[in-house]
Amino acid sequence: MNTATILDLIAAREAAASAARDELREQMAKIAGELAAVDCELSDLATTRQTLIKLTHDEVTSPQPAIISEPYQQILAVFTADGYGLRAKDVCLALGIGTEPKDTEGIRAKLKRLVNREILTETQPGLFTLSQKRT
């Protein structure tokens, strides 16, 4: 092999390595942008969590389980009117809201909060009634 052929091989390898380096730098820039977006979202979520904790702190830590907000009052009215155990979907129907999973899960979360405050009782998994203390 002569020197010119070896230099050509080296030049070809340098070009390939340079192209690979440029592609990797582009990928790094893209990943850095995606990472920055995820970091921003995580920061926003942390701020939202802290704000929610501050807003609900008095309600959650109150010694007497007070129901201040309108949605909770509406939910309790459904139980007062019925007297029987209800499931989250039943409450959704009684309130005239949708019965999609997002709707029933939101109501179920509220029902669980009412159980934690001993306002409702979960007599069977997913079946809620007014607590004996409230009736």
- Residue by residue, pLDDT tens for the chain (135 residues) are 799 899 999 999 999 999 999 999 999 999 999 999 988 888 888 888 888 877 776 555 554 545 567 888 888 888 876 568 899 999 999 999 988 999 999 999 999 999 988 888 998 899 999 887 654
Residue 21: per-residue pLDDT: 97
**Residue pair 119/130 in contact by the 8 Å Cβ criterion:** yes
> Helix H segments across the chain?
3-61, 70-82, 88-95, 101-116
pLDDT at 29: 94
pTM score above 0.85: no
92 CB burial (10 A radius; 0-12, 13-18, 19+): buried
- What residue type is assigned to position 115 of the chain? V
pLDDT, residue 30, reads 95
